[in-house]
Amino acid sequence: MIRSKDDGLRDTALSDKELNRALASTWSAQPGLWGALSTVDHKVIGRRYIATAFVFLALGGVLSLLMRLQLSQPEARFIGPDRYNQIFTMHGSNMMFLFAVPVMQAMAVYLVPLMVGTRNIAFPRLNAFSYWIYVAGGLLLWTAFIVDTGPDVGWFAYVPLSGPQYGVGKRADIWAQMITFTEVSALAIAVEIVVTVFKQRGPGMSLDRIPLFVWSMLVTSFLIILAMPAIMIASTSLILDRLVGTHFFNPAEGGDVLLWQHLFWFFGHPEVYIIFLPAVGMVSTIVATFTRRPVFGYLAMVMALVATGVLAFGLWVHHMFVAGLPRLGESFFTASSMAIAVPAGLQIFCWLATIWAGKPIFKTPFLFVIGFIVIFVIGGLTGVMVASVPFDTQVHDTYFVVAHFHYVLVGGAVFPLLGAIYYWFPKLTGKMMSETLGRWVFGLIFVGFNLTFFPMHILGLQGMPRRIYTYQPEMPWAGLNMFISLSAIVLAAGFLLFFVDAIRSARSGAVASANPWGASTLEWATASPPQPYNFARPPVVGSREPLWAEATALPVAAGLRVDRRELLITGVVEGIPEARESSVGNSIWPLWAALATTLTLVWSIFSPWAVVWGSIPVAVSLIGWFWPKGVLEDES
């Protein structure tokens, strides 16, 4: 474990004050713009990631208001069909690929290293690279939209509409390449999280002491690693069909249009759980803190997370119930889709049991959890409905489904996320958000959401298909549509107030203590916001709720070097220390590599030769990235 040659300065040789000073100089980013661009601190990158994702949320929200404007009256002419098709495609793609998945991963980038008690995420430079690639993908999509070449084929881009024959111009290519950007960035984080959770947990944090949020992110990361390759194959095949004339999806040449749907939904359904499982972890954390007790049924909760993750790969065909597949196959997928209600139900029951046994404290994060349960149970039950083949044949691709997945994704993921922002804001920024405004935010969003989305169930059953830019006056939908459009204003007001509260609090909110909620997990064992090195001494974990078990002072490990970035590597199962490992320093190369990759990917929308010529700058930037510089970090 300790090499004989190793004679660097250890933390055991220093007083607390000297230690903090030494660690700060080792772990800090360089000052100024260069430092901001070259930092590999998971907290800085995590915060950036979260802020960027919320910018995309706001932009996606503006798009939804434009749609509601157009749909408020029959045969309205505010927005033409071409622009409308771009808007709903952008709304879906933006919310799924640029907001929901990234924001959940971003929360993990910030929180997981803190919650497991380590100093930085695994592969910190990859983490920086991931952020730049994500931003580039977002800029690509939105730039295209602004210059009127936004994708217009829906967020699942069914062929042949998105294929070379019907999807003219570069719109579908931009969509497909945006997928490449976001999947690369998502895969990078998934790998970092898995390694961080498996190898960098604090000493003593055995598998059964991992916080539930960390468990949820671990399962989510495996889902990403297993699901995302399917969509990358799909989008790459689509680009090949469009750019170099392959025929993967062309039935006239032996291709198959349903192949696209299988590949897309083999990713697309796990995608829902990639968004939902982190929310499960957030809810578990918030419930525990605000009922002052550990979540009921820890083992059952973990098993439910894993079971959901496994079942998530056996449901994709329920998106294709009306595509004309064999009946026996459809029956299987009805049963498997229904079955996922069991682990979901188990989680709900465990939270209810926790609240039942505890004494709830009604702070804003907990209000969002209550809202989550009310709304998500509806979304889950409508999910059971659409799992039934005959039921689905009447509601598939209608506003019923629009209502269903907003109940699942907004109720199941955005409500917990907003609660999580209110909950972890003090750790993220060192300031508290406003409790008064928080109640208004919750009230407006809860009421606005239900008034906006519940009537859509009825519209769907009344025969209104989704993705229509207008409807004829003789259809009986005008009244409800106007009502929905007006309700959307209430919902938007709630989000606007949330942004106001967040920005105002970050600037001038009340200063937060290290553990303002009296929570139990390790991120609260350090300052708000934490120092660049997270913990002066790595905490040792003796129970599942370390901060509740050790009321006065947390035991810590000692012996790490302070003159280079060093962290503890521990065993996967028991969390027994195995080695001291260096963690890389700041570097500008991830940014260059991201720019080179961006150049290659954007160029390849227009020419296949980009892959050849673009590989040169990519190779150069990677050589720079990994070039040994003879510094301390390179030794191990």
Considering beta carbons, is residue 377 or 605 the nearer one to other proteins? 377
Residues 158-197 that bind other proteins (CB under 8 A): 158, 160-161, 165-166
Kindly indicate which of the ranges 188-196, 264-272, 338-346, 604-612 contains the residues binding other proteins, using the contact rule CB under 8 A: 338-346
Contact 187, 225 (CB under 8 A): yes
Give residue for tokens 């772990």.
Answer: 27
Which is nearer to other proteins, 226 or 346 (by Cβ)? 346
- Shortest distance, CB of residue 146 to other proteins, whole angstroms? 21
Could you count the other beta carbons within 10 Å of the beta carbon of residue 359? 9
Report, in Å, the least distance between residue 266 CB and other proteins: 18
CA pair distance 404, 382, nearest whole angstrom: 6
The nearest distance, CB 231 to other proteins, in angstroms, is: 19
The residues near 105 (Cβ < 8 Å, ≥ 6 apart) are 49, 186, 189, 190, 193, 220, 224, 278
Residues written for the chain = 636
Nearer to other proteins, 69 or 341 (CB): 341
Rounded to whole angstroms, the Cα distance separating 337 from 388 reads 8
DSSP string, 258-325: HHHHHHHHHHHHHHHHHHHHHHHHHHHHHHHHHHTSPPS-HHHHHHHHHHHHHHGGG-GGGG-TTS--
Q: Pick between residue 80 and residue 245 the one whose CB is nearest to other proteins.
A: 80
Binders of other proteins in range 374-413 (CB under 8 A):
374, 377-378, 381-382, 384-385, 387-398
Secondary structure of 17-71 in HEC code, one letter for each residue:
HHHHHHHHHHHCCCCHHHHHHHCCCHHHHHHHHHHHHHHHHHHHHHHHHHHHHHH
What part of residues 34-63 is at the interface with other proteins (CB under 8 A)? none
Decide: 104 and 417 in contact? Cβ < 8 Å: yes
Radius of gyration, alpha carbons of the chain: 25
The site that binds other proteins (CB under 8 A) totals a number of residues, namely 78
Which CB sits closer to other proteins, 339 or 584?
339
Distance of closest approach, residue 553 Cβ to other proteins, in angstroms: 26
- For other proteins, the closer of residues 88 and 181 by Cβ is 88
C-beta closer to other proteins: residue 465 or 624: 465
Site string for other proteins, 292-331 (x = CB under 8 A): ----xx--x---------------------xxx--x---x
Q: Choose the stretch contacting other proteins; rule: CB under 8 A; options: 128-136, 368-376, 515-523, 613-621.
A: 368-376
| Residue 622 CB, nearest approach to other proteins (Å) | 40
Least spacing, CB of residue 323 vs other proteins, in Å: 5
Residue position matching structure tokens 């209810």: 352
Instruction: Give the binding range for other proteins (CB under 8 A) out of 116-124, 351-359, 503-511, 520-528.
Output: 351-359
Question: How many CB atoms are closer than 10 A to CB 364?
Answer: 26
SS3 (DSSP) at 580: strand
CB of 398 to other proteins, least distance (A): 7
Number of H helices, E strands in the chain: 22, 2
Distance CA 50, CA 18 (A): 33
Q: Which is nearer to other proteins, 156 or 498 (CB)?
A: 156
Q: Which of 139, 466, 480, 482 binds other proteins (CB under 8 A)?
A: 466
Site string for other proteins, 468-497 (x = CB under 8 A): xxxxxxxx----------------------
For residue 503, which phi and psi values (nearest 5 degrees)?
Answer: -70, -45
CA 87 to chain centre: 22
Taking the least distance from each CB to other proteins, the nearer of 160 and 430 is 160
513 secondary structure, DSSP code: -
Which residue of 5, 17, 359, 507 would you call a contact of other proteins, by CB under 8 A?
359
- Window contacting other proteins (CB under 8 A); options: 19-27, 191-199, 211-219, 343-351: 343-351
Q: In what helix (H) or strand (E) does residue 567 lie, and over which residues does it extend?
A: strand 566-570
- Binding to other proteins in span 62-101, by CB under 8 A: 80-82, 85
Out of 184, 218, 355, 417, name the contact with other proteins by CB under 8 A: 355
Site for other proteins in 235-264 (CB under 8 A): 251-252, 256-258
Q: Retrieve residue 142's tokens.
A: 């939105």
For residue 325, the minimal CB distance to other proteins (Å) is: 10
Site for other proteins contains 430 (CB under 8 A):
no
**Which position among 35, 314, 465, 617 is part of the footprint of other proteins (CB under 8 A)?**
465
What number of CA atoms fall less than 13 Å from residue 162's CA on the CB side?
31
